[in-house]
Amino acid sequence: MPDFSDVSAGLQMPLAEAMQTQRAVRRLRPDPVDDETVLEVLRLATKAPTGGNMQGWEFMVIRDPGVKHQLARLNRQAWSIYRRFARRAARGNISQARILSAVQWQADHFEDAPVIIVCCLHGRVWPSTMGKASFFGSIFPAVQNLLLAARAIGLGAALTTLPLWSRTLVRRTLGLPHTLTACAVIPMGWPMGGGYGPTTRRPIEEILHLDHYGTRPYASE
């Protein structure tokens, strides 16, 4: 298995290339990922901004099979309900069906990922839009940094929130204090197949508005 010295050169990847090819990699090999690799990915994650530069984050590195199993159970519980809606919505759409099959694979093998990162935040979520935006906006830039760093070194990773459906069960599983909120769960490991590749997104012309909502100068009629 590669260790950090084998993959560190990947971090020189051009930024645009990393952004264009950072997609959810769910099919992971169970082979170990060394501590130095995990630490460097997390170090880069923490170069992200936070509201007021508070840096109220904590990152948990889960390697213990028992804890991974509990997170896997939580993920499967949420997925068993969510997949019914997802399957209905994906009917007739081949690319959505492909994603669902990868999500199913991930659900079946969640605990086999060699390492799972849980990104947490201290503090309270205030009910206003501003409160929610500045709370969760203080962790997801770090999550994206983590995903980009993982992409650059070829380490498979996928952002999940399904395992977080029960705050109480997550807190018990991870031994979190009441003041800490788990916001993202990211299984990581070396990809099973091709791994990363170009992402498919709505074209910018379709979603760009000039000055007022609805004024879309680049949209084709």
Ligand X SMILES: Cc1cc2nc3c(=O)[nH]c(=O)nc-3n(C[C@H](O)[C@H](O)[C@H](O)COP(=O)(O)O)c2cc1C
**Sequence-distant (≥ 6) Cβ neighbours of residue 45 within 8 angstroms:** 59, 119, 142, 143, 145, 146, 149
Distances (CA, A) of 163 to 8, 19, 69: 30, 26, 11
Among 7, 38, 150, 158, which residue sits at the site for ligand X (rule: CB under 6 A)?
158
Interacting residue with ligand X among 67, 159, 169, 192 (CB under 6 A):
159
- Residue among 70 and 160 whose Cβ is closer to ligand X: 160
Binding region for ligand X (CB under 6 A) out of 62-70, 99-107, 170-178, 187-195: 99-107
* Closest to 187 measured CA to CA, from 108, 106, 121: 106
Helix 65-90 crosses helix 167-174 at what angle (to 10 degrees)?
150
Only one of the segments 9-17, 32-40, 117-125, 160-168 lies at the binding site for ligand X (rule: CB under 6 A); that segment is 160-168
> Which residue stretch of 13-21, 35-43, 58-66, 152-160 sits at the interface with ligand X (rule: CB under 6 A)?
152-160
CA separation, residue 132 to residues 20, 21, 52, 128, 172 (Å): 28, 29, 14, 6, 24
Nearer to ligand X, 169 or 216 (CB): 169
Residues within window 45-84 making contact with ligand X, judged by CB under 6 A: none
> Does position 90 bind ligand X by CB under 6 A?
no
CB of 11 to ligand X, least distance (A): 20
